[in-house]
Structure 1
């Protein structure tokens, strides 16, 4: 297929893809970043705070080596 013969069609398709892509990208809202750092006033006031407690036995040296050699 000789592309120079169909250059007008290639141009029209490229422009239509560009315009439709631009239209679709404008429909997507921008991301809004929020900061969720712990505020000193919130900590001092005694509001609810998530606390995670992990209870497990510590591994011995042999158990660490055995766990590391599995994968």
Structure 2
């Protein structure tokens, strides 16, 4: 029983060490965008697509026919 308890402690320690190491070594990528590209994107008007769903409701008879 003592061996299993020690293995659990070793696993938790290894997992926490792996998580801490992954956070410590991870870096945020730096993306440099030319100023001309930023001005072009800002000047273009963005049109948002709109979806319209128009459906009639089923009557009680139609619902009963589906079952």
Please state which band the TM-score falls in when normalised by the shorter chain: 0.3 to 0.5
Q: Which has the higher contact order (CA 8 A, sep 6+)?
A: 1
TM normalised by structure 2 equals 0.36
